[in-house]
Amino acid sequence: MQFSLKEIYKDYFRIGAAVSADSLDSHKELILKHFNSITCENAMKFGITEPERDKYKLEDADKIYNFAIDNGIAIRGHNFVWHQEVPDWLFENPDRELLKTVLDNHIKTLAERYPEVYCWDVINEGLDDSEERFYRDTPWYELFGEEYFKIAFDISDKYLKGKTLFYNDYNEFNPVKRRKYLELAERLKSEGVPISGVGLQCHLGLNHRFSIDEIKEGIELYAKLGLKLQITELDFSLYPYEDREMHTQPTFEEYKQQAETCKSVFRVFREYGKEIEAVTLWGVSDDVSWLNDFPVKGRKNGGLLFDEEQKPKECFYAICDF
Ligand code: GLA
């Protein structure tokens, strides 16, 4: 295969992948050939980095960080504040001052240990999906209310001066969520909160969870915020989110449709190539994609550009040839 994604897209944006420490060995060639940005799929999350209070476990994050540095690959940080994948001890004692100190230590430790990480998702998924609620009901929100946004961004800014600090969320093209996302970003900016990037996760699906027009319109609106813009967790599920059937093997027709979807989505990304800084796929190839276990455990769902044998799929060729 002569195509290299990072070469093809070098005049548009960085092409990234979420990786695990193991995939650096099992998928090394593919990563080196195609990607010039990586994100730790899980290794920098709170639950992994601090499974016990004051005891850091950073072997996997170290391995991924060193791999990036040794190979001249940019690395983005993911994530500091989220309601999932947090350790059990974190909210055991719901004391606001204590939690602020814990968060400060956490961010300081990661910021100092990984100085070359060029941007961080400071807050992940803090907005609610419904019409009724604005903020998602999480332990962070219960304890601090909306102030936790300011707290987390201020701490990050203290230790990460000059790095891009992202708010990152999904369902970002849904009109209800999009309105909230834009409002949140404007609100934070006007209050002087040091947010400097918006991350659009882009977990899409066939018959695209969102139409191409919605994606285009959304990107245009997010770009107008005047913040850095990245696609942070792209994949193309073969099944709509609502479909919980155990399909055994994806069909030729589904892969073909997937390729068409990829082609049109990347056409929009290229159109906004000046505004979009990086496009990161959530995984390297279909064998290691989270979609094989979500929302249906054990269901094969090839949502990435390379198949289970790490070979390029039709959707890969569809975005190389334009
Ligand atoms: C979310 C998170 C990611 C990852 C994906 C699915 O979108 O931001 O860290 O957990 O879900 O794997």
pLDDT tier for residue 242 given thresholds of 50, 70 and 90: confident
Say what percent of the chain tops pLDDT 90. Answer: 94
Q: Please give the distance, rounded to the nearest whole angstrom, from the Cα atom of residue 275 to the centre of ligand 1.
A: 23
Query: Quick one: average pLDDT of 261-281?
Result: 98
pLDDT tier for residue 178 given thresholds of 50, 70 and 90: very high
Largest CA distance in the chain: 56
Q: Is 233 designated active site?
A: yes
Res 1: pLDDT: 60
Query: Quick one: average pLDDT of 10-38?
Result: 98
Query: Quick one: average pLDDT of 164-181?
Result: 97
User: What pTM, to 2 d.p., does this model score?
Assistant: 0.97
Residue in 160, 303, 316 with CA at minimum distance from that of residue 235:
303
Q: Is 183 designated active site?
A: no
User: pLDDT, tens digit, for every residue of 145-167?
Assistant: 999 999 999 999 999 999 999 99
Q: Residue 128 carries which DSSP code?
A: -
Calpha distance 289→300 (Å, rounded): 9
Using a 6 Å CB cutoff, which residues line ligand 1? 78, 124, 170, 201, 233, 290
Q: Please give the distance, rounded to the nearest whole angstrom, from the Cα atom of residue 271 to the centre of ligand 1.
A: 26
Cross-strand partners of 169? 200
Cross-strand partners of 281? 17, 234
User: pLDDT, tens digit, for every residue of 80-108?
Assistant: 999 999 999 999 999 999 999 999 999 99
180-211 core/surface letters (b: 16 or more CB in 10 A; e: else): bbbebbeebeeeebbbbbbbbbbbbbbebbbe
* Average pLDDT value over all residues in the chain: 96
Write the residue with the smallest CA distance to atom 12 of ligand 1: 290
Write the residue with the smallest CA distance to atom 8 of ligand 1: 124
Index of the ligand 1 atom closest to the CA of residue 170: 7
Q: Please give the distance, rounded to the nearest whole angstrom, from the Cα atom of residue 2 to the centre of ligand 1.
A: 31
Res 249: pLDDT: 87
Is residue 207 pLDDT above 80, yes or no?
A: no
Record the tokens describing residue 47, joined without a space: 């639950």
Residue in 234, 244, 200 with CA at minimum distance from that of residue 218:
200
Residue the block writes with tokens 């030729």: 252
Query: Quick one: average pLDDT of 181-203?
Result: 98
User: pLDDT, tens digit, for every residue of 288-319?
Assistant: 999 999 999 999 999 999 999 999 999 999 99
Cross-strand partners of 38? 17, 75
Calpha distance 316→313 (Å, rounded): 5
Query: Quick one: average pLDDT of 34-50?
Result: 98
